[in-house]
């Protein structure tokens, strides 16, 4: 029933008329084996499987490098689409890769190299620490924070998001120090296998996936000095090129909101480093006039296949899914 409905939507005059020379770039982060009861934002294997099946049947999935070149020459196919992953999570390799291979799809994986080989992103340290809190509350007033509710999974989720929002725009050293304080205060052993290792990154590339840059330590680039920004961008590129034995063409800005998380200085560093294009987290679909160093992407959260297909389809036009539902 869903397949028939989806085919009807994809063959509508609207879908044919509004997607010429427009490029949708999808953003993913983690693909879990099963749904996380606390961090419900992450999709699981079952959801990712039907998403990729839908995309493989009804969209023209391209390599990001090829798609950007064809965007410039006004030669993209109808419903052109690219798949991207941010950060370098191990489940990208163990869960997402087999599904992509099964569907004969290519994706670009943007890797923050400072967390490879047993590292952990600061937000994941926070998530895993709060997940393991014993008791119904977390009193961190002695750390300059508040008292947080941990009675339920939903309460823990709210606590995590409050803390992430508070710490996200700290200076890197200040944020890392605070995260270490929280980790030590909670005092629980945390997982060290959340991110990929060098061999997995290399195997992704060897199996036909593309690798892109994402800085070393995932800082908010607009909040650090010129020298720090250069080191983060250039060192990350050098490390990844050494791992895969090939040059990188694609870059993704951490957090990724234009004029907030990165600015013109950072775009210039990315250009000078030799990247051919870069993606942001500005929501939208790219047209021929798009700035190749701040391409928009889509982060579609619908968990029902038909709604997911409709929202993705409508993103190619000026109309929105909200206008037709």
Tracing tokens 């304080």 back to the chain, one arrives at 181
- β 210-213/147-149 pair status: unpaired
pLDDT for res 4: 52
pLDDT for res 321: 25
pLDDT for res 169: 84
Tracing tokens 């607009």 back to the chain, one arrives at 222
If phi > 0 it is left, if psi is from -120 to 50 it is alpha, else beta; for residue 237 that is: alpha
pLDDT in tens, 25-70: 999 999 999 999 999 889 999 999 999 999 999 999 999 999 999 9
pLDDT for res 113: 98
Mean pLDDT of 165-183: 91
Mean pLDDT of 280-297: 95
pLDDT for res 11: 57
- Structure tokens, 318: 């000026």
Cβ neighbours of residue 98 closer than 8 Å, sequence gap 6 or more? none
CB neighbour burial string for 84-99, b if at least 16 within 10 angstroms, e if fewer:
bbbbbbbbbbebbbeb
**Which residues share a beta bridge with 67?**
none
Closest CA relative to residue 252, chosen from 38, 40, 85, 122: 85
How far apart, in whole angstroms, are the C-alpha atoms of residue 19 and residue 7?
A: 16
Q: Is the pLDDT of residue 115 over 80?
A: yes
Mean pLDDT of 122-138: 96
Element housing 104 (H / E): none
Closest CA relative to residue 39, chosen from 125, 146, 132, 156: 156
How far apart, in whole angstroms, are the C-alpha atoms of residue 224 and residue 324?
A: 43
Closest CA relative to residue 144, chosen from 169, 165, 163, 161: 163
Mean pLDDT of 190-216: 97
Mean pLDDT of 129-152: 96
Domain 2-117+197-324 CATH class label:
alpha beta
pLDDT for res 10: 56
For the chain, the domains span 2-117+197-324, 122-186
Percent of the chain with pLDDT over 90: 86
Element housing 8 (H / E): helix 2-10
pLDDT band at 322 (very low <50, low <70, confident <90, very high): very low
pLDDT for res 9: 54
- Structure tokens, 53: 């099946």
Q: How far is CA 121 from CA 112, 115, 146, 219, in A?
A: 9, 6, 23, 11
- DSSP type of residue 96: I
**Which residues share a beta bridge with 147?**
139
∠ CA 220-106-32, rounded to 5°: 65
How far apart, in whole angstroms, are the C-alpha atoms of residue 313 and residue 148?
A: 41
∠ CA 64-270-59, rounded to 5°: 15
């Amino acid at each position: 029933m869903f397949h028939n409905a989806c085919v009807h939507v994809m063959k509508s005059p609207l879908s044919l008329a509004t997607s010429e020379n427009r490029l949708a770039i999808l953003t993913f982060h983690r693909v879990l084996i099963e749904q996380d009861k606390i961090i419900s934002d992450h999709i699981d294997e079952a959801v990712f499987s039907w998403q990729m099946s839908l995309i493989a049947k009804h969209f023209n999935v391209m390599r990001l490098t090829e798609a950007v070149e064809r965007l410039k020459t006004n030669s993209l196919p109808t419903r052109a689409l690219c798949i991207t992953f941010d950060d370098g999570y191990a489940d990208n390799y163990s869960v997402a890769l087999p599904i992509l291979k099964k569907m004969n799809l290519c994706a670009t994986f943007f890797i923050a190299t400072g967390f490879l080989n047993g590292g952990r992103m600061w937000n994941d340290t926070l998530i895993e620490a709060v997940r393991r809190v014993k008791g119904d509350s977390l009193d961190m007033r002695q750390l300059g924070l508040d008292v947080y509710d941990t009675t339920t999974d939903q309460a823990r989720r709210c606590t995590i998001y409050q803390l992430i929002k508070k710490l996200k725009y700290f200076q890197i050293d200040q944020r890392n120090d605070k995260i270490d304080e929280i980790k030590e205060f909670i005092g629980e052993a945390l997982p060290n296998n959340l991110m990929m290792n060098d061999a997995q990154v290399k195997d992704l590339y060897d199996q036909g996936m593309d690798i892109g840059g994402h800085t070393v330590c995932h800082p908010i680039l607009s909040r650090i000095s010129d020298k720090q920004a250069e080191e983060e961008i250039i060192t990350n590129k050098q490390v990844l090129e050494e791992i895969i034995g090939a040059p990188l063409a694609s870059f993704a800005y951490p957090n990724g909101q234009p004029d907030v998380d990165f600015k013109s200085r950072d775009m210039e560093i990315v250009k000078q480093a030799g990247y051919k294009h870069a993606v942001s987290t500005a929501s939208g679909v790219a047209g021929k006039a798009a700035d190749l160093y701040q391409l928009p992407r889509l982060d579609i959260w619908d968990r029902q296949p038909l709604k997911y297909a409709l929202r993705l389809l409508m993103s190619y036009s000026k109309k929105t899914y909200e206008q037709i539902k």
